[in-house]
Amino acid sequence: MTGQGEDSGDIMEVDGQWMQVALAEARRAAAQGEVPVGAVLVAGGVAVAAAGNAPISLNDPTAHAEILALRQAAARLGNYRLPEATLYVTLEPCAMCMGAMLQARVARLVYGADDPKSGAARSLYTLGEDPRLNHRIVVVRGLMAEECGNLLKEFFRRRRQAGGGPGGPF
């Protein structure tokens, strides 16, 4: 018989592996000059979609990593609802992305760094667990937060040094 502790340890290990995939997407986004945020959507133990933040390259203000991953996953699965899915993302999602996850009925969200300036899972709003809404999302925060946050810090530090664009939340 496996104990409770072992079970949650296994889950954490699996979560960590998926967060590494999200981090790889974030690094890819950074290489394109995008704010480094990456997401991967997992259903039935497999990655159905993965994406990096791309609003600048796509000229699309909605092209956050989470939205792109949700769109890819829904298209691939042929279903606009993803009730078995876990979305892993390196940064706490904004209100738009939390809204999209609620629409998709995503079961679980695992994110890395908190976003004190636009986070809507915990920092500014708690849209995953608002009793007025008709869906709840289980939220796990802070997984590999330091690694996820450092990627953003480094990106904004370099951008400031280069004299381009305004700073981000870090």
Would you tell me which residues interact with Zn ion (CB under 5 A)? 64, 94, 96-97
Q: What is the 3-state secondary structure (H, E, C) of 127-153?
A: HHHCCCCCCCCEEECCCCHHHHHHHHH
Residue 94 CB, shortest distance to Zn ion, in Å, is 4
- Residue 66 designated active-site: yes
Do 27 and 38 touch, CB atoms closer than 8 A?
yes
- Give the nearer residue to Zn ion in terms of CB position, either 19 or 69: 69
* Phi and psi at residue 54, to the nearest 5°: -150, 35
Angstrom distance (rounded) from CA 148 to CA 91:
7
Residue 151 CB, shortest distance to Zn ion, in Å, is 16
- Give the nearer residue to Zn ion in terms of CB position, either 43 or 93: 93
- Give the nearer residue to Zn ion in terms of CB position, either 40 or 94: 94
Which one of the listed residues 66, 84, 92, 147 is annotated catalytic?
A: 66
> Which residue numbers are catalytic?
66
